[in-house]
């Protein structure tokens, strides 16, 4: 574990294997922040590892659990998302504190 807190950390489902044999097999996401003239803006991005294209994104003035969820909603609103029984895996690109939100 590389985090300095006592909150649970999500498991590393990809185990550094960033290859995908088909679309929607593996998605990754990350959150970054951008300085603007009005303050910080947080950007969550979701990428399909097969196409290496951005498939969902969301922006907010605050980094909340909804930020990543909104990026996923953008993807699911654009196309029919796989069912829960599908083999798709969504994993955090990092296991740092933002991914341990208790909202």
pLDDT for 34 equals: 94
What backbone phi and psi angles, to 5 degrees, belong to 55?
-115, -10
pLDDT for 75 equals: 79
Residue 39 lies in a domain: yes
pLDDT for 97 equals: 43
User: What domain count does the chain have?
Assistant: 1
- Give dist(CA 37, CA 14) in Å, integer: 37
Tell me the pLDDT of the chain averaged across its residues.
76
69: three-class secondary structure by DSSP: helix
Residue 73 lies in a domain: yes
Domain that residue 56 falls in: 26-95
Residue 11 lies in a domain: no
Residue 61 lies in a domain: yes
Q: Which of 5-9, 15-19, 56-60 is least confident? A: 5-9
- DSSP annotation of 99: G
- pLDDT tens-digit series, residues 64-84: 878 888 888 887 765 555 554
Residue 74 lies in a domain: yes
Which is more confidently placed, 88 or 43? 43
């Amino acid at each position: 574990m590389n985090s300095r807190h006592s909150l649970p950390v999500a498991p590393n489902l990809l185990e550094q294997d960033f290859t995908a044999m088909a679309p929607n097999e593996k998605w990754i996401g990350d959150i970054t922040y951008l300085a603007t003239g009005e303050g910080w803006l947080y950007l969550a991005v979701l990428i399909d590892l097969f196409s290496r294209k951005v498939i969902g994104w969301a922006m907010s003035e605050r980094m909340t659990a909804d930020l990543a969820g909104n990026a996923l909603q953008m993807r699911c609103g654009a196309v029919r998302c796989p069912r829960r029984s599908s083999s798709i895996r969504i994993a955090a690109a990092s296991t740092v504190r933002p991914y341990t939100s208790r909202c």
